[in-house]
Amino acid sequence: MSGPADLRALPSVDQMLKAPAASPLVERHGRTVVTDELRTVLGEIRIAVRGGGVLPDEDGILASLVSRLDYRDRSNLRPLFNLTGTVLHTNLGRALLAEEAIAAAIDAMREAAALEFDLDTGKRGERDSHLRELLCELTGAEDATIVNNNAAAVLIALNSVGAGRQALVSRGELIEIGGAFRMPDIMERAGVDLVEVGTTNRTHAKDYIKAIGPETALILKVHTSNYRIEGFTKEVPGAELAAIAHEAGVPLLNDLGSGTLVDLSRYGLGKEPTVREAVAEGADLVTFSGDKLLGGPQAGFIVGRSDLIAEINRNPLKRALRVDKIRIAATAATLKLYRDPDRLASRLPTLRMLSRREPEVRSQAERLAPQVEALLARKGYAVEVCRCASQIGSGALPVDTIPSAGLRITASSGSALEALAASFRSLSRPILGRLRDGALILDLRCLSDDAALLESLSEGTGHAVA
């Protein structure tokens, strides 16, 4: 029986802190944190011993302390395996950056950089100068600027060009984006008066022409990238809408949303309008995202007429929405990859994952299935290779899917599967799949490291990887 005699053998906080093994813990976490957690550990041991538990030795106490400190220090914002089947998953940070972009961001973080300093003249420079030439080269636009995301790009563009006046928009393009942000709400905050034209499913050129009046400041075209209306539909093409806007003497703002700089059909994906195409059609301003199909960090781009870009840059909102040196450096490095289209798919993670062929992913699934089953079988789970339908995500090509493959994990009950999914989420490097049709599906399209996945699974099952 354990009892008071055992408790007298329990080391004090000071004794434990003087132990050689405690020194690196103090160095990493700080003395205050280690002391607080140690007191908690010793308190829990006292309660356990009084209840009949065995008094652990010093190594056992330190192991409990390390476990608590690691858990306290662990962040939810830690690397994980995205096996959900959605490549650009908004909740998981969207695009993964290319190695070139990561290296550029690290350099910008580590050292001072000429963010707003012109090294040629020795005078104050502009943040946009690091990206303007690249964006104009890749899109064919006269000028370009950048803010912190595409919603901000639309907001400042509308506010700069149309504040206090009207903006015409098709009813079929009054979209809601992630987080319940709606285009009419953004327009209201931008200070423009929304004028709806046409109907939800059909809008004609005559609808815009009829709605144009003295208070019309611009026409807004919104690419419905996160949904699609099919059947009896009609929309006015960008080139025709640009002609209508220019005839009326007002600019056309084309919000492409996800945005892409390359024709995705060359990689076996569905066709999405490119930024260059929108500019060539006559749009005076085009807005698009950086962290979606473009494959870079979060950003909102605005390209178009130089006079309108200058007006946007004079807007006081520009300072509130500006991008820091880290994202500018990573964005510039990402854009430079587009200068070499032949190697783009191998260097840009987003495009590499989207363009993986189904046989390649299936081969990976067949290779992993027996190893994963060996780790999970002892807990009553069965594993088999299955077909999957991956999605691009973040609103791009919403009804299109990409043939893929993965692992289908089944159990004797739904509660067992939910418990497995929860245990996967609690790992040092969490594994996220999707529960569907009585199984936990792990779509392998985004998996680049088999060994790392098996290592995480072995942590969850308590078995070492063979």
Instruction: Locate 446 and state its tokens.
Output: 């985004």
Give me the tens of pLDDT residue by residue for the chain, a chain 466 residues long: 455 667 888 999 999 999 999 999 999 999 999 999 999 999 999 999 888 888 999 999 999 999 999 888 888 889 999 999 999 999 999 999 999 999 999 999 999 999 999 999 999 999 999 999 999 999 999 999 999 999 999 999 999 999 999 999 998 888 776 656 788 888 989 999 999 998 878 889 999 999 999 999 999 999 875 556 666 678 889 999 999 999 999 999 999 988 899 999 888 888 889 999 999 999 999 999 999 999 999 999 999 999 999 999 999 999 999 999 999 999 999 999 999 999 999 999 999 999 999 999 999 999 999 999 999 988 899 999 999 999 998 766 666 789 999 999 999 888 999 999 999 999 999 999 999 999 999 999 999 999 999 999 998 666 544 4
Instruction: Please list, in sequence order, all residues whose beta carbon lies within 8 angstroms of the beta carbon of residue 293, skipping any fewer than 6 positions away.
Output: 88, 258, 259, 260, 264, 272, 350, 392, 396
| Residue among 385, 389, 387 at smallest CA distance from 369 | 385
Instruction: Please list, in sequence order, all residues whose beta carbon lies within 8 angstroms of the beta carbon of residue 59, skipping any fewer than 6 positions away.
Output: none
**What distance in Å separates the CA atoms of residue 407 and residue 454, rounded to the nearest whole number?**
13
| Residue among 271, 273, 268, 241 at smallest CA distance from 256 | 273
267 contacts 341 by C-beta, under 8 angstroms: no
Quick one: how many helices (H) and strands (E) in the chain? 20, 17
Q: Which residue has the tokens 């390359």?
A: 262
DSSP 197-260: ES-SSB--HHHHHHH--TTEEEEEEE--TT----SS-B---HHHHHHHHHHTT--EEEE-TT--
Instruction: Locate 384 and state its tokens.
Output: 């088999």
What single DSSP character describes residue 149?
A: S
Q: Which residue has the tokens 């003295």?
A: 214
pLDDT at 1: 43
Say what the alpha-carbon torsion angle 314, 318, 319, 321 is, to the nearest 10 degrees.
180
Instruction: Report CA-CA distances (Å) from 209 to 147, 202, 247, 249, 406.
Output: 32, 15, 10, 12, 51
**Which amino acid is present at 353?**
M
Counting beta carbons within 10 angstroms of the beta carbon of residue 457, is it exposed (0 to 12), middle (13 to 18) or buried (19 or more)? buried
Instruction: Locate 233 and state its tokens.
Output: 């539909």
pLDDT at 443: 98
Instruction: Report CA-CA distances (Å) from 27 to 12, 18, 30, 199, 375.
Output: 20, 13, 6, 65, 36
pLDDT at 414: 82
**What distance in Å separates the CA atoms of residue 62 and residue 124, rounded to the nearest whole number?**
55
pLDDT at 462: 61
**What distance in Å separates the CA atoms of residue 347 and residue 334, rounded to the nearest whole number?**
10
pLDDT at 394: 73
388 contacts 443 by C-beta, under 8 angstroms: yes
426 contacts 391 by C-beta, under 8 angstroms: no
Do strands 81-82 and 431-432 pair parallel, antiparallel, or not at all (unpaired)? Answer: parallel
210 contacts 177 by C-beta, under 8 angstroms: no
Measured in whole angstroms, the distance separating CA 407 from the mean position of its chain's CA atoms is: 24
Q: Which residue has the tokens 């067992």?
A: 416
pLDDT at 378: 85
pLDDT at 466: 46
pLDDT at 395: 67
